[in-house]
């Protein structure tokens, strides 16, 4: 499954995405914007935080890119022509001119090719331009990871999931700093931040935000059983321990 064919249930995501969007608002505050910049939102999703970026650059332009066609359709419904939106793999994204700033929230950990990611971001960003991002870092949702690993190897799921590469890459700050330096960023800093989420609807949250790739790999008749298995293996109350990787850099 390539980056451009990942499926997301945009409507369900919008119903449970509040915690993720709150993190995005905090990351957005780190961007130094005067109002006339061109800003690229990588992994714009259904456009919730993208809309806030639009408001911050009334004399500028916002470009959103997402690997999910469903998400881009939802973003178009929300934003209309206020943003330029692309259904594309960011690793293959080309723009006519470099942008002034790049923003991303909860997206980079879905991209396995981390070296290539930061090289592409550097190529899309003008010299002196700013990158502000946050995604899952080392240790993120460790308990879910453990339970999912066990479920992957259990019957009847093992024939479809055992041995599959994890759909996420939770990087270390030190590795990220090295990748930023190699990509040509003049200034860079990466650090971790703990956060907790207690979803009101754990099942929908897991199915929509975390386990979409696992469910897509299973026959439809096994998907509910897989969710039951994972939920049954999680401690109560259902609280997710997130570890967020923050990235702040200048080209």
Torsion of CA 16, 20, 24, 27, to 10 degrees: 160
- Reported as a single tens digit per residue, the pLDDT across 44-72 is 999 999 999 999 999 999 999 999 999 99
- pLDDT of residue 12 exceeding 90: no
Domain 3-138+169-201+242-250 has CATH 3.10.129.10: no
Distances in Å between the Cα of 34 and the Cα atoms of 55, 56, 58 are 11, 8, 9
- Reported as a single tens digit per residue, the pLDDT across 218-243 is 999 999 999 999 999 998 999 999 99
Widest pairwise Cα distance in the chain: 56
Angle between helices 48-56 and 18-28 (to 10 degrees): 20
- Reported as a single tens digit per residue, the pLDDT across 187-216 is 999 999 999 999 989 999 999 889 989 999
Q: Of 99, 88, 78, 81, which Cα lies nearest the Cα of 21?
A: 78
Residue 230: the pLDDT is: 96
Residue 5: the pLDDT is: 41
Rg (CA), the chain: 18
- pLDDT of residue 3 exceeding 50: no
Q: Are 59 and 35 in contact (CB under 8 A)?
A: yes
Q: Are 68 and 6 in contact (CB under 8 A)?
A: yes
CA 64 to chain centre: 13
- Reported as a single tens digit per residue, the pLDDT across 93-141 is 999 999 999 999 999 999 999 999 999 999 999 999 999 999 999 999 9
- pLDDT of residue 73 exceeding 50: yes
Residue 165: the pLDDT is: 85
Q: Where are the domains of the chain?
A: 3-138+169-201+242-250
The pTM for the full model equals: 0.92
Residue 18: the pLDDT is: 80
Residue 111: the pLDDT is: 95
Residue 164: the pLDDT is: 84
- pLDDT of residue 6 exceeding 60: no
Contacts of 146 (CB under 8 A, 6+ apart): none
Residue 232: the pLDDT is: 94
């Amino acid at each position: 499954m390539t980056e451009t064919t990942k499926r997301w249930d945009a409507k369900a995501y919008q119903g449970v995405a509040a915690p993720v969007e709150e993190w995005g608002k905090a990351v957005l505050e780190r961007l130094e914007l005067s109002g006339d910049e061109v800003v690229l939102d990588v992994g714009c999703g259904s456009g919730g935080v993208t809309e806030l970026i639009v408001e911050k650059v009334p004399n500028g332009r916002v470009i959103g890119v997402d690997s999910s066609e469903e998400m881009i359709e939802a973003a178009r419904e929300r934003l209309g022509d206020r943003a330029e939106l692309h259904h594309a793999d960011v690793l293959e994204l080309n723009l006519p001119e470099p942008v002034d700033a790049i923003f991303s929230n909860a997206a980079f950990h879905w991209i396995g090719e981390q070296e290539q990611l930061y090289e592409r971001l550097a190529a899309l960003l003008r010299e002196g331009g700013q990158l502000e991002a946050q995604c899952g870092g080392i240790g993120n949702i460790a308990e879910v990871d453990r339970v999912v690993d066990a479920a992957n190897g259990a019957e009847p799921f093992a024939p479809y999931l055992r041995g599959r590469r994890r759909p996420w890459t939770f990087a270390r700050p030190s590795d990220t700093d090295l990748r930023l330096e190699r990509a040509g960023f003049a200034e860079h800093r990466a650090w971790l931040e703990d956060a907790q989420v207690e979803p009101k609807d754990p099942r929908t949250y897991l199915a929509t935000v975390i386990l979409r790739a696992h469910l897509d790999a299973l026959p439809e008749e096994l998907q509910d059983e897989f969710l039951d298995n994972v939920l049954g293996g999680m401690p109560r109350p259902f609280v997710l321990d997130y570890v967020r990787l923050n990235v702040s850099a200048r080209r």
